[in-house]
Structure 1
Amino acid sequence: MKEHLSDSFNITHLEASVNYTIFHFKDGHREIHAYTLKKYENDFSQTQAFSRIHRRFLVNRKFIASHNECEVLLSCGKRLPLARRRRV
């Protein structure tokens, strides 16, 4: 996990998939890891660079281009849902 903490500036977002987590990187590649999103949320909490926007998504704040009341637009063009409870 330490390599991901040091390489976190390349991660655009993390996506939950049952008991797995999919790491999405800015160059477009993905990696699947056999841990829950909650584990990574706790691991990345010390960096304060990531925000949980939905039960399925943890987003790197520096890649957020814009957001409205129902979705977040990333700088790579990906649109992610914003949970009602997470809205500002």
Structure 2
Amino acid sequence: MTARDRGLQPERTTLAWQRTGLSAAVVAVLELRSGIGAGSLFDVVAGCCALVVVVLTWVAGRRPGVNRRLLPLTAWATVATAFLVTVRLLWTAK
């Protein structure tokens, strides 16, 4: 049996943070564009929450040692974004 190469774990973690940040950046751009265009406070606030996720993931990707401290903040910002998007979708579905 071959031993696992533990040198790849930090690289995989960095790539995961980058993917998360890219996804959040797309959401932020779409939400801010929609919010500013339609004058929707929910969309603007959701876009700002997504921007917080982008910043946190960018910092986490650059400094691998702070991942554990940034994970709860990133999770809360992601949940806030999802909540606001869901409220906005339910609000407009009426």
What TM-score, normalized by structure 2, do the two folds share? 0.21
Rg larger for: 2
Comparing both structures, which one devotes a greater share of its residues to helix?
Answer: 2
What TM-score, normalized by structure 1, do the two folds share? 0.22
Instruction: Name which structure has the greater RCO, CA cutoff 8 Å, separation 6+.
Output: 2
Comparing both structures, which one devotes a greater share of its residues to strand?
Answer: 1
